[in-house]
Chain A
Amino acid sequence: MLRIVASASRPSSVSLLSVAHRRNLSSTSARQADITLTVDGKEVTVPQGSALIQACEAAGSPIPRFCYHDRLAIAGNCRMCLVEVARSPKPVASCAAPAMPGAVVFTNTPLVHEAREGVMEFLLSNHPLDCPICDQGGECDLQDQSIRYGSDRTRFHEIAGKRAVSNKDLGPIVKTSMNRCIQCTRCVRFANEVAGVEDLGTTGRGNDLQIGMYVEKMMDSELSGNVIDLCPVGALTSKPYAMQARPWELKTTESVDVLDALGSNIRVDSRGVQVMRVQPRTNDNVNEEWISDKTRYAYDGLRFQRLTTPLIKGPDNRFVTASWPDALAAIAAGLNQTGAKGNEIKAIAGHLADTETLVVLKDLINRLGSDNLASDLEGKYGNAPPVHGIDVRSNYSFNSTIAGVESADAILLVGTNPRHEAAVLNSRIRKSWLHTDLVVGMVGTRADTTYGFEHLGEDAKALEKFLSGKVKGEFAERWAQAKRPLIMVGSSMAEHADGEAVFGMLARYVAATGERIVREDWNGFNVLQRVASRPALYETGFVPSRAATSTTPKFIFLLNADEVDPASIPADAFVVYQGHHGDRGAALADVCLPGCAYTEKSSTWVNTEGRSQLGRAAVPPPGAAREDWKIVRALSEVLGVDLPYEDLVGVRDRMWAISPSLVRWDGLEGTSLEVAKAGLGSLMSNFYQTDVVSRASVTMAQCTRAFVTREKTSLEGLGKEPLQAHA
């Protein structure tokens, strides 16, 4: 645990699996007994194998550091964390020294102070004095620590000047100013261990050591933005945020990311009405300390192309601005004019719809007599109930939990590329792959993950072949012995022609393996959602009824639905779009209602695990835009529908009545074993042999055979398309 050598090289072109090529012989460490030592006269107990710096932290003695980071391997090269240990002739670098039982440590003695001052002097001797123009100013570890530990005068008289290092081009996200680098190598370790981009390293030696890629190359990673947070000085800063703001001008709001379905915890920094930047917030259950680049940098999109006032399409097919009462009245008139009744009234929820609004909209549509609650899944799939069903939460959730991925010993990816669908989760798989014996198998389009995997085939037939045990190979062998096998099905399987067969196959397989995959302490059947709104959509039952599937809609309400296929919207239908951006959805609309983006409203988001989290408003909505659920509530009034709540508390009471877990923010409500099994049972579509009596029944066996045979014949049509992960 203490030292993890980032030695794994990742097979990029060939999907190598053999353990021999990728990691050290032993890299796991069993948790051992606790040990006790004394830090600054205080007794402290830490697990054996902890670094001394951790013991000091535990004792409440802060240790300055640059290179040490909890989540990265230990380098021990900045020497800032020197402490005095009794009976040690020299100060000890506390990050690289293991805490020993009975050690007596001092962190606040003249020796320690002098040592740190000396280290600081060396670090500063080559550090430019450009704090006034440095973006790190105000949140710079070097600045802060030099105030506390630095010398108050300079002895630097080198005529030749300070070391000069050319800047590197790491792409559109990370701005470099390599003169400021103090070679802590945090970025190098992050890139190699967490991001899996083994292109960053140190070249040269001694005073000339520099961080870079040697050849000219960009940092091709979806997690590259995290090196900016890791950099203790201003060597790596954010390019989009460059020279934009100072940390002390910013207002910080803790919120939740909605650009994938992980629900990464974020911190939105805003100045006035503008979001200036987004940074990660630590949550070990979700995103640890990382966020993807999309999460971090999509915020500038919140400034452009916004809908700021209600718009009504005039007779010449051009939008004219309108007041809220006019826009709502236009919708009521539109509904009347089309004469839409029952399921002809359709709502389509998009990727960025928040839970409160979904609940209110569902109530409204239901009360208008319709069950046509579609979503903008690819193609026609949003217009029908999803193939995995929504009855039981475990059928569409990531049941092993995101943190639980690390305890899996074999992972089967089905039609998913976690690197794109949930980049932070992918880094967890890589972490586990590096440090444990994890093996990964993949069915679906081959992708460049950041770890080795065995490619089992592209289509549903290949999956069937694997599940029936006809595949030989290391992965199949290890999978058969795995104690905590994990199946990860991509959400795109619900939008695939073979989706139903895939889910059926997996459900039957899980049932056939008995206690292996789904049991009391482990649920290894996972659906990885990739869109923030979907788990909430399914949780609240926002799906169309079977009858609604075949109805031609006359009135369509698009809630943040921009991915909807324009061809699926009848030309004569009256279309309302509610959302925050004037994109594809708005272009289809007769009336546009400006809503809030995720940084502008306090709303609930459910992540792929089923964890509900509260996003908070960082900035006010632009122009006349209003909070989304309030718009729908106002519309209900105009349409003459009575909804039983008037304020946010009322809406959340309603959410509690729909599913109590929706308002248990930050907590995770699991699914009990029986219910999870019942849920998988409904996927099997085989109700003939569910108990001892029917299993003993010959008739039922024949039914099953007939059924299974039918399934087998339906397999003939399988595999026309690869199980492609959503890009």
Chain B
Amino acid sequence: MLRLPRRLPRLSPPSSRLISSTAPKRSDALFIHRDTPYNNPEIAFKFDAQNLKRAQEIISHYPPQYKKAATIPLLDLGQRQNKGWTSISVMNYVAELLEMPPMRVYEVATFYTMFNREPIGTNFVQVCTTTPCMLRGSTDILNTTCAHLGGLKPGETTKDGKFTVIEVECQGACSNAPMMAVNDDFYEDLTPETTKKILDAFAKGEKPKPGPQSGRKTSENSAGLTALTTKPYGPGEFCQPEFQ
């Protein structure tokens, strides 16, 4: 006789994170622009003199009929000038500068997640939660970060506007997991303590030293080198005499 499968009783309270944690995203909130007082085409945006020079330099890398190839670097430049986020005015300005239909720029800006289309805090904290980091305890890092910044949820900005925390996918620093990126810098080999330290430093307006926080050098073995311990040989050594 067949036994109906019984639902297994849950043994423990849900571990800190569920396997599938992607919240259903309501697309319209993400991929449609609606005018707001802080983000509408009426707000003027223009590159300052320095960025304009840089923009022209970037455009000059491409043949004139493929000017639109400069869309991404220009949007990035615009995002940097516009306090870290890409407003509709930035997109319109880039489109105008590259003589392309604005929609083509919107397509690019909505496709790439690193273009923030909503304002962010002064410090943009991106905690990696992809598998290698997760195995190394990124969940703790994320929870610490959120709790330390006053109980935020990922995606939110602190009230004082100093921090925005988001969860991101792999940043390519897996050998130094867990890691987070604050603005343009990677902070690696994190523990909850070092995380708090970094956040405190940023809160004070300082900039802690990027890189591994455990003291090791880049991604060297933390227990000391087991190979390649000798001095690397230089050019010409161990060569035939005529090449020395």
Given a CB threshold of 8 Å, the question of whether A touches B is answered with yes
A205 within 8 A of B: yes
Q: Which residue of A lies closest to B41 (CB)?
A: A215
Residues of A within 8 Å of B228, CB to CB, are none
Q: Which of B54-77 contact A (CB under 8 A)?
A: 64-65, 67-68
A177 within 8 A of B: no
A11 within 8 A of B: yes
Stretch at the interface among A20-28, A285-293, A498-506, A547-555: A20-28
Task: Contact check, A21 vs B99: say whether CB atoms are below 8 A apart.
Answer: yes
Q: Which of A137-182 contact B (CB under 8 A)?
A: 160-161, 163-166
Q: Which one of B30, B64, B106 lies within 8 Å of A21 (CB-CB)?
A: B64
Task: Contact check, B27 vs A164: say whether CB atoms are below 8 A apart.
Answer: yes
Stretch at the interface among B31-39, B128-136, B185-193: B31-39
How far apart are the CA atoms of A391 and B203 in the complex, in Å?
Answer: 87
Residues of A within 8 Å of B28, CB to CB, are 164-166
How far apart are the CA atoms of A117 and B153 in the complex, in Å?
Answer: 41
Q: Which of A199-218 contact B (CB under 8 A)?
A: 199-205, 208, 210, 212-216
A13-54: CB near B (< 8 Å → 1, else 0) gives 000000111111100000000000000000000000000000
Task: Contact check, A11 vs B99: say whether CB atoms are below 8 A apart.
Answer: yes
B147 within 8 A of A: no
Task: Contact check, B107 vs A203: say whether CB atoms are below 8 A apart.
Answer: yes
Task: Contact check, A20 vs B27: say whether CB atoms are below 8 A apart.
Answer: no
Task: Contact check, B106 vs A203: say whether CB atoms are below 8 A apart.
Answer: yes
Q: Which of B35-54 contact A (CB under 8 A)?
A: 35, 41
Knowing A164-B26, A166-B32, A203-B110 touch, does A198 contact B101 (C-beta < 8 A)? Answer: yes
Q: Which one of A19, A163, A202, A215 lies within 8 Å of B33 (CB-CB)?
A: A215
Residues of A within 8 Å of B32, CB to CB, are 166, 203, 210, 212, 214, 216
Task: Contact check, A9 vs B107: say whether CB atoms are below 8 A apart.
Answer: no
B100 within 8 A of A: yes
Task: Contact check, A20 vs B65: say whether CB atoms are below 8 A apart.
Answer: yes
Task: Contact check, B27 vs A210: say whether CB atoms are below 8 A apart.
Answer: yes
Task: Contact check, A213 vs B103: say whether CB atoms are below 8 A apart.
Answer: yes
Min CB–CB distance B169 → chain A (angstroms): 12
Task: Contact check, B99 vs A9: say whether CB atoms are below 8 A apart.
Answer: yes
Task: Contact check, B103 vs A216: say whether CB atoms are below 8 A apart.
Answer: no
For the complex, count residues of A whose C-beta is within 8 A of B: 32
Q: Which residue of B lies closest to A9 (CB)?
A: B100
Residues of A within 8 Å of B67, CB to CB, are 21
How far apart are the CA atoms of A19 and B104 in the complex, in Å?
Answer: 20
A692-707: CB near B (< 8 Å → 1, else 0) gives 0000000000000000
Knowing A21-B99, A201-B107, A214-B110 touch, does A208 contact B25 (C-beta < 8 A)? Answer: yes
Residues of B within 8 Å of A25, CB to CB, are 65
B95-127: CB near A (< 8 Å → 1, else 0) gives 000011111101100110000000000000000
Interface centre among B41, B64, B111 (most CB of A within 10 A): B111
How far apart are the CA atoms of A178 and B227 in the complex, in Å?
Answer: 59
Min CB–CB distance B235 → chain A (angstroms): 44
Residues of A within 8 Å of B236, CB to CB, are none
Residues of B within 8 Å of A214, CB to CB, are 31-33, 103, 106-107, 110
Knowing A204-B27, A213-B103 touch, does A24 contact B111 (C-beta < 8 A)? Answer: no
Min CB–CB distance A208 → chain B (angstroms): 5
How far apart are the CA atoms of A9 and B34 in the complex, in Å?
Answer: 25
How far apart are the CA atoms of A212 and B101 in the complex, in Å?
Answer: 14
How far apart are the CA atoms of A454 and B166 in the complex, in Å?
Answer: 51
Min CB–CB distance A422 → chain B (angstroms): 24
How far apart are the CA atoms of A201 and B110 in the complex, in Å?
Answer: 11
Task: Contact check, A163 vs B27: say whether CB atoms are below 8 A apart.
Answer: yes
Query: Total number of A-B contacts with CB less than 8 angstroms?
Result: 81
Q: Which residue of A lies closest to B112 (CB)?
A: A205
B224 within 8 A of A: no
Task: Contact check, B104 vs A198: say whether CB atoms are below 8 A apart.
Answer: yes
Q: Which residue of A lies closest to B27 (CB)?
A: A208
How far apart are the CA atoms of A166 and B31 in the complex, in Å?
Answer: 10
B88 within 8 A of A: yes
For the complex, count residues of B whose C-beta is within 8 A of A: 27
Task: Contact check, B100 vs A208: say whether CB atoms are below 8 A apart.
Answer: no
How far apart are the CA atoms of A482 and B183 in the complex, in Å?
Answer: 57
Q: Which one of B41, B64, B68, B103 lies within 8 Å of A199 (CB-CB)?
A: B103
Task: Contact check, B104 vs A201: say whether CB atoms are below 8 A apart.
Answer: yes
Task: Contact check, B27 vs A198: say whether CB atoms are below 8 A apart.
Answer: no
Residues of B within 8 Å of A22, CB to CB, are 65
Q: Which residue of B lies closest to A168 (CB)?
A: B32
Residues of B within 8 Å of A10, CB to CB, are 101
B24 within 8 A of A: yes
Min CB–CB distance A299 → chain B (angstroms): 31
Residues of B within 8 Å of A202, CB to CB, are 107
Task: Contact check, A208 vs B31: say whether CB atoms are below 8 A apart.
Answer: yes
Task: Contact check, B110 vs A205: say whether CB atoms are below 8 A apart.
Answer: yes
How far apart are the CA atoms of A11 and B107 in the complex, in Å?
Answer: 20
Interface centre among A20, A161, A163, A201 (most CB of B within 10 A): A201
Min CB–CB distance B26 → chain A (angstroms): 7
Q: Which one of B25, B88, B104 lies within 8 Å of A215 (CB-CB)?
A: B88
How far apart are the CA atoms of A160 and B26 in the complex, in Å?
Answer: 11
Residues of B within 8 Å of A166, CB to CB, are 27-28, 32
Residues of B within 8 Å of A199, CB to CB, are 101-103
Residues of A within 8 Å of B24, CB to CB, are 160-161
Task: Contact check, A201 vs B31: say whether CB atoms are below 8 A apart.
Answer: no
Knowing A23-B65, A24-B65, A215-B33 touch, does A165 contact B103 (C-beta < 8 A)? Answer: no
Min CB–CB distance B50 → chain A (angstroms): 27
Knowing A9-B101, A20-B65, A24-B65 touch, does A210 contact B31 (C-beta < 8 A)? Answer: yes
Residues of A within 8 Å of B33, CB to CB, are 214-216
Residues of A within 8 Å of B88, CB to CB, are 215
How far apart are the CA atoms of A703 and B31 in the complex, in Å?
Answer: 72
Q: Which residue of B lies closest to A166 (CB)?
A: B28
How far apart are the CA atoms of A19 and B107 in the complex, in Å?
Answer: 25
Knowing A24-B65, A210-B27, A216-B34 touch, does A205 contact B100 (C-beta < 8 A)? Answer: no
How far apart are the CA atoms of A221 and B177 in the complex, in Å?
Answer: 53
Q: Which residue of A lies closest to B29 (CB)?
A: A166
How far apart are the CA atoms of A20 and B100 in the complex, in Å?
Answer: 13
Task: Contact check, B27 vs A165: say whether CB atoms are below 8 A apart.
Answer: yes
Min CB–CB distance B208 → chain A (angstroms): 33
How far apart are the CA atoms of A10 and B103 in the complex, in Å?
Answer: 13
How far apart are the CA atoms of A25 and B65 in the complex, in Å?
Answer: 8
Residues of A within 8 Å of B68, CB to CB, are 7, 9
How far apart are the CA atoms of A164 and B32 in the complex, in Å?
Answer: 13
Min CB–CB distance B124 → chain A (angstroms): 20
User: Could you name 13 residue pairs across A and B whose Cβ atoms are closer than 8 Å?
Assistant: A7-B68, A9-B100, A21-B65, A24-B65, A161-B24, A164-B28, A200-B103, A203-B32, A212-B32, A214-B106, A215-B102, A215-B106, A216-B34
Closest 4 CB pairs of A and B: A198-B101, A204-B31, A166-B28, A214-B106
| Seed contacts A9-B100, A214-B103, A216-B34; 11 additional CB < 8 Å A-B pairs | A9-B101, A165-B28, A166-B32, A199-B101, A203-B31, A203-B111, A208-B30, A214-B106, A215-B33, A215-B41, A216-B33
